[in-house]
Amino acid sequence: MKRLVFIIAIIPFITSCLKYSEPKSLSLSGEYVIDKITYQETDGEPSPQDITYLTGSVYYNDTEIPPLDTIIVGETKLHMDYSIIRFDPTPNQFGGTDWYTEYYYFVHGQRTAYDLGNIVFDCDGTRRVWKVVDDSDESLTVRTSGQWVDGTRKSVILSLTRIGP
């Protein structure tokens, strides 16, 4: 009888302690608009700096290469499918969009529900690594791996909103 009471008393502790969450499958395909940029300087300055660019602002980085050097927040678009990331859209005569800059990418390191991996692509001879911070149905947040400029690490967080297929 004591054993039965003990087992009944311990069952809620055993069954309620574990929560399994399956790793999330990234849903990167679609057309996005960059609607917020947070620029961060760390590692080398006495105090870290954050600058946020909202819709209507222009983010310019002279150490970056096109098309990522000048971003008009709220207007700059990109498109991703399962293997290609595209920049520089131009509407065509049939109502669609032609994308003039394309790079092949792959997702590396997606291990858990909390580590969504990195989007890796080579852009004009240099490798770009974007850490996927958040991926929801209608938005994507990525953080660049950063650049070291004059002893300061500069990183950018891009907040993207999905606007089409």
43: number of Cβ within 10 Å: 13
Q: What is the 3-state secondary structure (H, E, C) of 134-153?
A: EECCCEEEEEECCEEECCEE
Question: pTM, whole model, 2 decimals?
Answer: 0.80
pLDDT value at position 46? 58
For the chain, which residues score pLDDT lower than 50?
A: none
pLDDT value at position 158? 95
pLDDT value at position 22? 64
